[in-house]
Structure 1
Amino acid sequence: MKRFILLAGICILSGLQANAQGWLEKMGKKVKEKTVENVEERIEQNTENAINKELDKAEKAVKQSDDRDNSDSSDANEGKASNGAKQTKLEGTSQYDFVPGNKILYFEDFSQDAIGDFPAQWTSNGSGEVKTVNIAPGRWLHLNGEDAVYCYMKEIEFPDNFIIEFDLIPDNQFDYGIELTLYQEDKSDPKELNDHLYPGIGGIQIVPKKDGWETKGYHTDKDWLTGNASRNPIIQEELNHVIVWIQKRRVRIYHQGAKVLDAPTNIYPETKFDRLRFSGWDRHSSPYVSNLKITTAASDTRSKLITEGKLVTYGITFDVNKADIKPESYGTLKSIADVLKENPDIKIKIEGHTDSDGDAAANLELSKLRADAVKKQLSTGFGIETARMQTAGAGENIPISPNDTPANKATNRRVEITKL
């Protein structure tokens, strides 16, 4: 009996050992398979990660290349000013040849008009009122009348060569929604409110549209002289800064950092402008306009700075109460940089000036920051050595004109460059 039990035990142990060996072999095979599987998955994952990493690099390289290509038509890249404030980085192309002059002929920002009123120096055959908007500072004339015209009531002595700028915020219905007309008044029939389709004895109509630009030069009993372009059209419900350069018969329009239209014979030669108006014939949109400025065209930067030793410029502009330089300042900065590059021994002083609105101490600090911002742009954007430039701020302390009207205040907001 004992022997039988012993033999049975040995058989059981042998079976268990055999099962154990089989189980171990099976488990070993599974572990091996799992290990191989994990290794394969890891290799696959690492390979995928490597591929993704290279694709990211390639995509980044392509994007940088595209950005460089697109910089020819964009002046809105952002950088940092030396004072730590966010500042617009200025870039440009050979086509952006706009440089404002050194004399302000007219300026209107409706700051002297009460909110809700129609502006005192304008008239209309429709409705309109001064308002504020939520996407931009200042006061704006809301052109909300149907088939209405909006005429500035005083004559303006336009030279043959001048620049007119204005800010425009179109509503979401804006298509072919507004016209700026510069014209010569008919002295035999003078009108503060000229509601003719083509007022005066001759003029030019500039029509910004959501799909491009259109110009019409006209004169009594003559055919239109037209111009059309599609580049950089007006953007609905955003602030658009429009620049129109008139040089005798030639009309150039700039928008979003680029020249969008250049029509060399767009105006009849006998036309002498002395009036301006906005109109909205057969339109159903209600755009806003403000910051309307007329200056003499490009001053001789070389003569002013080299010969006279001082340049007073209104071509370097800033955001309200900030030292952020606006993109349309590119042409002026480039002209100053060109003179400095051609005359490497010249050193300059950059001085900022403000109007008298606000706190005097804050204006003084702001004028210093603006001068510093100009110095930084000349250095980083155009390669002028910082050792050649000094900066200072005068605030509101050295006005050119009394701070009593929007035009005079605009005259006092300036940058002066002095040869040392």
Structure 2
Amino acid sequence: MKNLAVLLVAIFFGYSSYSQSNTNSKFDFISGEKVIFFDDFTNENLGDFPANWNTNGSGEIVNSDRFENRWLKLTKQGFFIPEVSEDFTENYTIEFDLISEKPYEGDIFSLDMYLLSGDLMNPKGGTQPGEAGFRIHPSNSSITWNNWSEAREWQGDEGFVDYTFKSGEINRFAFWFQKQRVRLYINNNKVLDLQRGLNKGYKYNIFRIDSNSDDLTPLVGNYRMAAGLPDVRSKLLTEGKLISYGIYFDVNSDKIKEESIPAIKEIASVLSENPEIKIKIIGHTDADGNEASNLKLSENRSNAVKAVLNRTFAIDNGRIETEGKGESQPLAPNNTVINKAKNRRVEFVKL
């Protein structure tokens, strides 16, 4: 009945429509290689609204009794936009954590997520803002989506995918946009893969979250946007060096997160196909904390990546050297959260 209802709505309004079941396919998400926006809210005061975001609602930076790090709590309905001034390019990723603290029967988050072609300094409201856009709405047990554009007289495509959310848990959203293609991953599962998710002919330059309720106050954290995906083979074999931002660790730990496996797998594939190649893995940190501790942490993290390459992908340990540089070789000044994110990285150097 749900499929029929979506189809009838599509016919009535002139949309083309189809549904897509939850694939839960093998997780293959890899973060972009150039960080163009990052915010974990650590550089700002609790209770404030973050300086690098815009809203016509209300929100505040908070700590949580149950979850580490800081969070942006969406306290009043409205739009919430990270102000990214750099070009998104045609290939980029957007990642963030989302928590609903309150159980609710109707809508666990009561929000929409948009990718828009529009004016960053003059965001418009309504259900179809901008010159063109793509929207998803995550509810308790499904995700609905639709797109639109001026060129198509505000019509477009729409569909849904089954997915069950739970309140009181961290949900990691990861979008991968490649020209018109839209892929969405949640908690290491691929839940959407739309070859024509975006309408062509538009420059998409705004990602925004709209809160639709004053009662539900979800938390947003660890927001990261990066442009361009690394060509691992070319970088490592031809240029001799690859910088990876797709390998994640627990805070102040060398424990590798599960979502890092696709990035490490890409390295392993190159090494497997080129058995004569040897590499050095170099860990880097930002300048927060003690210098000696950062050096040790970077060493441990490079060794942890080596262990995954050996144990999971059978790459001979004799082909891998490791080193930690700590905070000693920054790529940017350690003066903003975005620059600190650029400095936290793992490098692979061909020997």
Tell whether the structures are fold-level matches, with TM greater than 0.5.
Answer: yes
Pair 1:385 & 2:292 matched: no
Q: Cα offset for 1:319?
A: 1.1
Output the CA distance in 2 between the equivalents of 1:175 and 1:158.
30
1:181 partner SS: strand
Aligned to 1:251: 182
Q: Deviations over 1:72-116 (max 9, x none)?
A: 96xxxxxxxxxxxxxxxxxxx6x3222223211211112222100
Residues 246 and 265 of structure 1: CA distance in aligned 2, closer, same or farther (over 3 Å): same
Aligned to 1:178: 111
Q: Which amino acid aligns with 2:130?
A: G
Give aligned-pair identity as a percent: 39
Pair 1:222 & 2:148 matched: no
Aligned to 1:285: 216
1:377 partner SS: helix
2:85 partner SS: coil
Q: Which amino acid aligns with 2:190?
A: K
Q: Cα offset for 1:181?
A: 1.4
Output the CA distance in 2 between the equivalents of 1:238 and 1:272.
34
Q: Which amino acid aligns with 2:154?
A: K
Aligned to 2:285: 354
Q: Which runs of 5+ in 2 are unaligned?
A: 1-22
Superposition map of 1:42-121 within 5 A: 95-121=26-52
Pair 1:370 & 2:313 matched: no
Q: Which amino acid aligns with 2:298?
A: S
Q: Which amino acid aligns with 1:194?
A: K
Q: Cα offset for 1:282?
A: 5.0
Q: Which amino acid aligns with 1:120?
A: A
Output the CA distance in 1 between the equivalents of 2:301 and 2:260.
13
Superposition map of 1:4-403 within 5 A: 95-145=26-76, 147-172=77-102, 173=104, 174-186=107-119, 191-220=121-150, 221-231=153-163, 233-281=164-212, 284-403=215-334
Instruction: Confirm or deny: 8 A CA contact 1:301 1:335 kept in the other structure.
Output: yes
Root-mean-square deviation (CA, aligned residues, Å) is 1.9
Output the CA distance in 2 between the equivalents of 1:225 and 1:382.
41
Residues 227 and 318 of structure 1: CA distance in aligned 2, closer, same or farther (over 3 Å): farther
Q: Deviations over 1:254-298 (max 9, x none)?
A: 122221111111111022111222102357421100111111242
Q: Deviations over 1:286-328 (max 9, x none)?
A: 1100111111242110000011111100010111111111111
Say which one has the larger Rg.
Answer: 1
Output the CA distance in 1 between the equivalents of 2:214 and 2:194.
26
1:338 partner SS: helix
Aligned to 1:8: none
Output the CA distance in 2 between the equivalents of 1:137 and 1:176.
20
Output the CA distance in 1 between the equivalents of 2:38 and 2:84.
13
Residues 402 and 341 of structure 1: CA distance in aligned 2, closer, same or farther (over 3 Å): same
Instruction: Confirm or deny: 8 A CA contact 2:40 2:223 kept in the other structure.
Output: yes
Q: Which amino acid aligns with 1:203?
A: G
Q: Which amino acid aligns with 1:239?
A: I
Output the CA distance in 2 between the equivalents of 1:156 and 1:177.
29
Q: Cα offset for 1:136?
A: 2.6
Aligned to 2:12: none
Residues 287 and 257 of structure 1: CA distance in aligned 2, closer, same or farther (over 3 Å): same
Q: Deviations over 1:306-361 (max 9, x none)?
A: 11111100010111111111111111011000000000111111111000011111
Output the CA distance in 1 between the equivalents of 2:159 and 2:272.
37
Q: Which amino acid aligns with 1:179?
A: D
- The structure showing larger relative contact order (alpha-carbon pairs under 8 Å, at least 6 residues apart) is 2
Instruction: Confirm or deny: 8 A CA contact 2:33 2:243 kept in the other structure.
Output: yes
Output the CA distance in 2 between the equivalents of 1:272 and 1:381.
40
Q: Cα offset for 1:240?
A: 1.3
Q: Which runs of 5+ in 1 are unaligned?
A: 1-71, 74-92
**Match for residue 339 of structure 2 among 390, 408, 412:** 408
Output the CA distance in 1 between the equivalents of 2:290 and 2:179.
42
Q: Deviations over 1:42-67 (max 9, x none)?
A: xxxxxxxxxxxxxxxxxxxxxxxxxx
Q: As a proportion of its length, which structure holds more helix?
A: 1
TM-score relative to the length of structure 2? 0.87
Residues 283 and 249 of structure 1: CA distance in aligned 2, closer, same or farther (over 3 Å): farther
> How many residues in Structure 1 have an aligned counterpart in Structure 2?
324
Q: Cα offset for 1:387?
A: 1.2
Instruction: Confirm or deny: 8 A CA contact 1:313 1:414 kept in the other structure.
Output: yes
